Structure 1
Amino acid sequence: MARIAVIGAGMGAMAAAARLAVAGHRVVVYERTETYGGALRRFERDGFSFDTGPALLPLPAVWRDLFVKTGKEPLERCVELVQVDPSSRHVFADGTRFSLPNASRAGVVAALDEALGSSAGQRWGDFLVRAREAWDRTRRPLLEEPLWPDWRVLGEREPYPAVPYKRLLRTRRAVTLAEVGALELKDARLAALLESHALAHGLDPRSAPASAAVLPYMEHAFGTWYVRGGLRELARAVYDRCRERRVEFRFGTQITGIVEKDGRAAGVRLADGTVDEAGFVVAGVAPGVLDRLAGGAAVRGEGEVPPQRGAASRLTVLLALRGARPKGTAHRTVVHAEDREAELESLFGAVPRVAARPTVTVLRPGDPESVPDADHEAVTLTSVVPSGTGADAEAHAEHVIAVAGREIPDLRDRLLWHEVCTPADVEEATGAEGGAVPAPALAAAGGRLLHPANVTRTGGLFTVGGWSHPGGGLPHAGMSGALVAGLIVEGPGFRGSQ
């Protein structure tokens, strides 16, 4: 079997490494930092513990499949999965508040009817039926199969079956997610609920295609999960599985180039100039890093999906609070912006900038492992910011804390200290320029939101992780690992999981 060099120890890269090792290959992972997990990092201080990357797990079946395929111990024996219920709580500027049950259509309909009036729940439920159709149409090509050679078909076809409306004697359908909210949901708060799913991935709902409806559908259909101890525990479990399968990790090792021989990847060059030979190279790095490693060689050809660049990032504020978490507190609360249009224009306008009053996600896990004792609470606040945001981080954090105060009225009195994680911290952890965070691949929009294929123009060189097909997000990272492993083990005829 071949020796395989994997560049980076992110979640997609480790998923590929574990699967390739089980297939009998000798796998070596080279990681420039001193730890694994990519964006799944942990911050600890004074007995408090916080996730600084993703903090909730959608579609856990992807990671269950990895553990089933790579060993006898299932995922649930390696980490403790907790279904989050309610799935989310939402707070609006007009005082409206509601909580949505986890993976319960009837419960969600009832909650929305009670908070927003009769028929609101039915409109959301009808939307989810249409979103399911979009999911069914795109699940395999966007998650389970290698990117189609004729990928333009995915960009041309809008899979979301928008409802036709007559306006000024003309029939029209929603093209963007924002239009879906305006035309089909007919309530500004329902529209904000819908758009918040796109915004959480750094997407502008005004330009994101209607197919982005699959984002709230995934959460509704498969539930939202938390890993006891934080999602860093999932990274630890995947790392342990790799080690059990005899994957070798070399931390603190900078790769400076991909070595080619006769037009094929033949190894990696280390910072000291030495070359480690390999039969295959798997690169789990951002596009700019891959360009540098390729030394100017064209990794992607004309007519292929171009790498995405300039994605948004996130600002994370970690709060250590005195006092116990109140009983019945929701794990996740979305405090919606007071002026959503102003927020979107700030983030996605001609000159992107931090929104003064952003949408803020408040995470209050109530996990005993995250606090020094029961008389304290660990809270994480996140908001979307333009990539490259760095200056005035404390000022931005103050804006975020002020918004969170709408959900935690006594926040200032309880605050012991806070830490700020900026896009620069994301860049340090992942290598992505400006701390950009990749969004999941979406159909339609001319293919603008697809990601490059896992295969490259260089034989034996594959890409994995959020910056290649099928894009960003923990489920997508896991699927990218499965796709790369399948392409290497089974060859170009591999067509995905069945």
Structure 2
Amino acid sequence: MKTVVIVGAGMGGLATAARLANAGYEVAVFEARPQVGGRIGELRRDGYRFDTGPTLLMMLEPLERLFADLNRRVEDYLDLALIDPSYRVYFGDGTVFDSTPNIARMTREIARKISPNEVPGYLRLMADLSAMYHAVVPAFVRRQYDSLADLFTPYQVGLLLRHRLLSNLWWRVGRYVRDPRLQMLFSFQTMYLGLSPKDALWVYGVLTYMESGEGVWYPRGGMHRLPEAVARIAREEGAQIYLNQRVQEVLIESGRAVGARLASGEVLKADYVVINADAPTAYRELLPPTPYATRNFRNSCSALMFYIGYTEPLPHQLHHNVYFSHDFEANLRELFQENRVPSDPSFYTCLSNRTDPADAPAGCENLYVLVPVPNLTGEDARAAAPRVLQTVIERVGLKRERMQFVEMLTPHEWQAMGLWQGAAFGIAHTFFQSTAFRPSVQTPFRNCYLVGASTQPGNGIPMTLISAELVAQRILGTWGRKA
């Protein structure tokens, strides 16, 4: 029986463990933290429950494929709820807009809140994004890359030209909808890939389609139920998962992975090693020196998080809410060009107790706040936190005396979780850090692989699950070259 050591129990590591255990491999997962899930964590305090990282799920297909490949049904492990409206948007000019994947309701909302003249452009945008999404995912995302030649096949070049994938997202969205509010609404999603929508490629409009076309989902009980469900399946398949066990280094002999050494000094021998850690951190701290260890990756921005126990109802808030800066373009410039905490930041709030009432005591709210801020190469978000929190209080309409507690997470804590430079969303999706240019799941060492958000195909839960597919296919020899 072939043996596999997996470093880290994030979604990528757990999904890889489940797939390989199902294939008959002896799998052991070692996680430094006391809970599985990586960034998909949770916080419980004084009767409140918060998701600490991702708060929604888009693009269900990779999750459904994982369960189907393992002969399971999603509904036997998770109760997924479609959140509709997807979120409520508060624009700087006072407009309040409810975004929904329901085309009929969305057209009415645009006509009523923005302008009837924008409806045809919205419909064309969704149609073109749908066509691009269904072409791009199989051709560029769910794909193994061994060289740049795998990126520029005649078919892929044809798609690049047909859909103009490398044109500018901000400019292209503006060709469909003229109102700047809609331009913001249909492009801001790239901020969570570490990119300004003004600098992003048109291909990342697929995020808008995932959100506005297919909708956003939430597992009842919280996002942490996702890694718990995959961990349960991995264990059912025979994988062993060890918590509070930090891997110190991956052992390489003659260019091949042969196991790992724990922080305790214990040596674990294995035929394969899979590293579910941020790629820059893995190359700098877990593996022998390679050019990747000194590569100057461009990182995403970070996130300043507030978890607020609030003792009064906030009836104007939905499950998901987005607050745009009064000057969105200044917000983007300060964050992505000047590398400082925006003076008037855009931010996101979540109240999961809208869907799971047990997440907060009766009459109270579990208010989650995410503010995009620079990573540790920029202005220190800790120093700016009181100012940012005051902005949140004023825009959401909070009363300080009703704030039972405020827990905070800064880029320093993200870095402590293993995210290089405290970049909460991993390495950024620039052109030269995407597709074949992004760190491969195959490391330079034989039988040693990477899985997760900073490897191919990219950031986010669906991409991480596809990354696990790619790693399993490499090890099992079911796609491309054998390991």
Partner of 1:294: 287
Mapping 1:106-125, distance limit 5 Å: 106-125=104-123
Check 1:403–1:122 CA distance in 2 against 1; reply closer, same or farther (3 A cut): farther
Check 1:237–1:492 CA distance in 2 against 1; reply closer, same or farther (3 A cut): closer
| In 1: Cα distance, 2:102 partner to 2:111 partner | 14
Q: Report if the CA contact (8 A) 1:335-1:360 is conserved.
A: yes
Amino acid at match of 2:364: H
Q: Higher mean Cα deviation, 378-387 or 390-399?
A: 390-399
Gap runs ≥5 in structure 1: 164-172
Check 1:410–1:317 CA distance in 2 against 1; reply closer, same or farther (3 A cut): closer
Amino acid at match of 1:477: T
Amino acid at match of 2:171: E
Normalising by the residue count of structure 2, what TM-score does the alignment of the two structures yield?
Answer: 0.90
Q: Deviations over 1:154-197 (max 9, x none)?
A: 9978748679xxxxxxxxx9921121233332111111112311
> How many positions carry a matched residue from both structures?
474
Partner of 2:206: 214
Partner of 1:167: none
Check 1:377–1:9 CA distance in 2 against 1; reply closer, same or farther (3 A cut): same
| In 2: Cα distance, 1:80 partner to 1:475 partner | 17
* TM-aligned CA deviation for residue 386 of structure 1: 1.1
Mapping 1:233-252, distance limit 5 Å: 233-252=225-244
Partner of 2:32: 32
Q: Higher mean Cα deviation, 19-28 or 245-254?
A: 245-254
| In 2: Cα distance, 1:375 partner to 1:250 partner | 39
- The answer to whether the aligner puts 1:66 opposite 2:66 as a matched pair is yes
| In 1: Cα distance, 2:66 partner to 2:347 partner | 32
- The answer to whether the aligner puts 1:311 opposite 2:300 as a matched pair is yes
* TM-aligned CA deviation for residue 32 of structure 1: 2.0
Amino acid at match of 2:35: T
Check 1:356–1:132 CA distance in 2 against 1; reply closer, same or farther (3 A cut): same
Partner of 1:91: 90
Given the alignment, which residue of 449, 453, 457 partners 1:470?
A: 457
- The answer to whether the aligner puts 1:231 opposite 2:223 as a matched pair is yes
Partner of 1:459: 446
* TM-aligned CA deviation for residue 441 of structure 1: 8.5
| In 2: Cα distance, 1:67 partner to 1:24 partner | 17
Partner of 2:271: 279
Q: Report if the CA contact (8 A) 1:308-1:467 is conserved.
A: no
Given the alignment, which residue of 407, 419, 423 partners 2:411?
A: 423
Check 1:221–1:181 CA distance in 2 against 1; reply closer, same or farther (3 A cut): closer
Mapping 1:351-370, distance limit 5 Å: 351-365=338-352, 366=354, 367-370=356-359
Amino acid at match of 1:466: A
Give the secondary-structure state (helix, strand or coil) at the position aligned to 1:231. Answer: coil
* TM-aligned CA deviation for residue 214 of structure 1: 0.7
Amino acid at match of 1:322: T
Q: Deviations over 1:115-145 (max 9, x none)?
A: 1111212212211222223212210133322
Partner of 1:75: 74
| In 1: Cα distance, 2:303 partner to 2:93 partner | 26
Normalising by the residue count of structure 1, what TM-score does the alignment of the two structures yield?
Answer: 0.87
Gap runs ≥5 in structure 2: none
Report the aligned-residue RMSD.
Answer: 2.8
Partner of 2:53: 53
Amino acid at match of 1:264: R
Check 1:32–1:50 CA distance in 2 against 1; reply closer, same or farther (3 A cut): same
Q: Deviations over 1:216-269 (max 9, x none)?
A: 011123210111121011121112222222211222222222222332211112
* TM-aligned CA deviation for residue 492 of structure 1: 5.1
Q: Report if the CA contact (8 A) 2:319-2:350 is conserved.
A: yes
Q: Report if the CA contact (8 A) 1:259-1:269 is conserved.
A: yes
- The answer to whether the aligner puts 1:382 opposite 2:370 as a matched pair is yes
Partner of 1:100: 99
- The answer to whether the aligner puts 1:255 opposite 2:247 as a matched pair is yes
Amino acid at match of 2:288: G
Q: Report if the CA contact (8 A) 1:138-1:159 is conserved.
A: no
Q: Report if the CA contact (8 A) 2:381-2:410 is conserved.
A: no
Mapping 1:330-349, distance limit 5 Å: 330-349=318-337
Q: Report if the CA contact (8 A) 2:308-2:367 is conserved.
A: yes
Check 1:401–1:85 CA distance in 2 against 1; reply closer, same or farther (3 A cut): farther
Q: Higher mean Cα deviation, 181-190 or 475-484?
A: 181-190
| In 2: Cα distance, 1:490 partner to 1:174 partner | 32
Amino acid at match of 1:26: E
Q: Report if the CA contact (8 A) 2:318-2:351 is conserved.
A: yes
Q: Report if the CA contact (8 A) 2:5-2:274 is conserved.
A: yes
Q: Deviations over 1:250-307 (max 9, x none)?
A: 2222222222233221111223444211111111112232223222145699xxxx78
Amino acid at match of 1:143: V
* TM-aligned CA deviation for residue 414 of structure 1: 3.2
Check 1:298–1:175 CA distance in 2 against 1; reply closer, same or farther (3 A cut): closer
Check 1:398–1:70 CA distance in 2 against 1; reply closer, same or farther (3 A cut): farther
Give the secondary-structure state (helix, strand or coil) at the position aligned to 2:463. Answer: helix
